[in-house]
Amino acid sequence: MRKTCEKIHTDAAYRWFLGIPFGQKTPHFKAFSKNYERRFKDNDIFEKIFINIVEQAIEYGLVDGKELFTDSTHTKANANKKKFEVTVCEVVRKRRLWLEEEINEERKLQGRKEFVYKDKTTTKKIKVNTTDPDSGYYHRDNKENGFMYLDYRTVDSKANIIVDCHVTKGNVHDSSPYIGRLEYIKDTYGFNIERVALDSGFDSLDIKKYLLEENIFGVIGYRRYGTKESRRERRRYQYINDLNVYMNKATGEVLEYNGNINRDGYMLYTNLDKSEKILRHIKADLNDRYYQNRISTVGRNLYSLRKEKIERSFADSKQNHGFRYAMYHGLEKNQNYTWLICAAQNMKNIALKMNRYEANTQNKALCDLFFPKLTNIYELFKIYTKRKPLAFSN
C-alpha cells in the first residue's frame, strides 16, 4: 500500500484512473492502514467489493453460473515452520446421520437389531505455530510441508470469473467446506448450477448425495481406495445389479448377500460354504453413478476444462498477485486480502474480455459495411471477365 500511494503521487496514469487532478493531494498510505485496523475491522466491506465486481461481470454477460470449477491451493503462512507447540485436543468425528438411518433401515428389513450410534471423540496431536496460530500445518504427498492457509476457489466456466474464494487453515480437508460454499454461491447470486467439476480430493459421499439431490451433474476425479491387494482381489468378481449378487469371473461361482451389514454400511456377500467373501457399501450405487459421469463424453470434456479454468486462476494469483505467500497474520486478514486479490483479478479479466468484445464488434461492423460491396464487385468481375471464380478463404 505504501508503494501504491507513492505511485499515485508521481504517476499520471494513476491520477487519471482515480480522478485526482495535478496539484491535489493524494491519499497517504496511513489512511488505508488505519482504516484497515479500525473502520474495516470485523465487517464485510471487502466481501462486498468482491461481490460487486462479480455482479458487474454478470451484467456484462461474462458469468452465467451453469458450469463451476472448484479446487483449493495452499499459501505459505508468514510464520517459521520450526516454531510451534504440539497440543493435544479432542476431535469429534463427523457423523453422517442420513447414512446411519439407511443402515438401520436395512438391518430392520433383514430382521437384525439396529445399531446405536454415538459421537466418537479421539485425541489428536496438532502443531500450533507460535507466530501465527491461525495457520494450519499442511502435509500432503509430493508437496511442501509447513504452516499454510488454503484458498477454496470457485470459477465460472464462461469467462473464468472467480465467483467465490474461501480461506481456511492449512489442515482442513478439501471436502469439508464445499457444500457450504456452493450454498453460499447460490444464495448470493441466484445461480442455477447445472454442472460442476472437482478433483479427487472432493470425493465424498456427502458431496455426491448433495449434488444428486440438487440435480447437478458432477464429475469428480478418480481416487484409489484400499491397498493394491484388496483392489486386485475385488477385480476377480463382477457385480450383477439385477440379481444383487457377485460372480467370480474365473469359476462362475455366485456370492449372495447374506443380510449382514456392519456399522460402516458394508454388506457382506458370501458363497454357500463361506469360503469366499466380499464387501459392498450400501451406497455403492452412488459411487457407480459418478463413475459413469466421469467416463461419459460430457464428463470427460468437462473435467478436461478443470485445469484450464481453476488451475489457470491459481497460477495468475501466484504469478502476478503475490499469492504464494500470506501477507498477514490471522485468518480474517488473509480472507480480506484474498477478497481483494480475486476482485482485482476479476477486474482485469472483465477489462480484457470487454475490450476484445468491443474490438470484435467494431470489426464486425466494418465487415458488414465492406463485404457486401466486395461481393457485388466480385459478381460484376465474374460477369464481365467470364473467368473461373476465385477461391476466397474465410
Q: For the segment 135-182, what is each residue's pLDDT rounded down to a tens digit?
A: 999 888 778 888 999 999 999 999 999 999 999 999 898 889 999 999
pTM, two decimals, is 0.84
- Residues 194, 276: one domain? no
Q: How confident is the model at residue 367 (pLDDT cuts 50, 70, 90)?
A: low
What would the grid cell of residue 106 be? 436395512
- Residues 14, 104: one domain? no
- Residues 169, 183: one domain? yes
Check residue 119 and give its pLDDT. Answer: 86
- Residues 54, 128: one domain? yes
Check residue 215 and give its pLDDT. Answer: 95
Q: How confident is the model at residue 370 (pLDDT cuts 50, 70, 90)?
A: low
Q: How confident is the model at residue 89 (pLDDT cuts 50, 70, 90)?
A: confident
85 Cβ neighbours under 8 A, 6+ residues apart: 127, 128, 130
Q: Using the predicted structure, report yes or no on whether residue 79 has a pLDDT greater than 90.
A: no
Q: How confident is the model at residue 387 (pLDDT cuts 50, 70, 90)?
A: very low
What would the grid cell of residue 94 be? 463427523
- Residues 242, 100: one domain? no
Percent of the chain with pLDDT over 70: 91
Q: How confident is the model at residue 379 (pLDDT cuts 50, 70, 90)?
A: low
Check residue 4 and give its pLDDT. Answer: 86
- How many other C-beta atoms can be found within 10 angstroms of the C-beta atom of residue 62? 20
Q: Are strands 217-220 and 237-240 parallel, antiparallel or unpaired?
A: unpaired
- Residues 191, 252: one domain? no
pLDDT higher for 332 or 93?
332
Q: Using the predicted structure, report yes or no on whether residue 109 has a pLDDT greater than 70.
A: yes
Least confident of 137-141, 193-197, 347-351: 137-141
pLDDT higher for 230 or 312?
312
Check residue 145 and give its pLDDT. Answer: 87
**Could you tell me the residue range of the domain that residue 175 belongs to?**
45-221+287-355
Check residue 230 and give its pLDDT. Answer: 77
Q: How many domains does the chain have?
A: 3
- How many other C-beta atoms can be found within 10 angstroms of the C-beta atom of residue 211? 23
Q: Using the predicted structure, report yes or no on whether residue 274 has a pLDDT greater than 50.
A: yes
Q: Using the predicted structure, report yes or no on whether residue 378 has a pLDDT greater than 50.
A: no
- Residues 239, 269: one domain? yes
- Computed over every residue of the chain, the mean pLDDT equals 87
9, part of any domain:
yes
- Residues 90, 161: one domain? yes
Handedness of CA 53, 54, 58, 63 (dihedral sign): positive
- Residues 92, 2: one domain? no
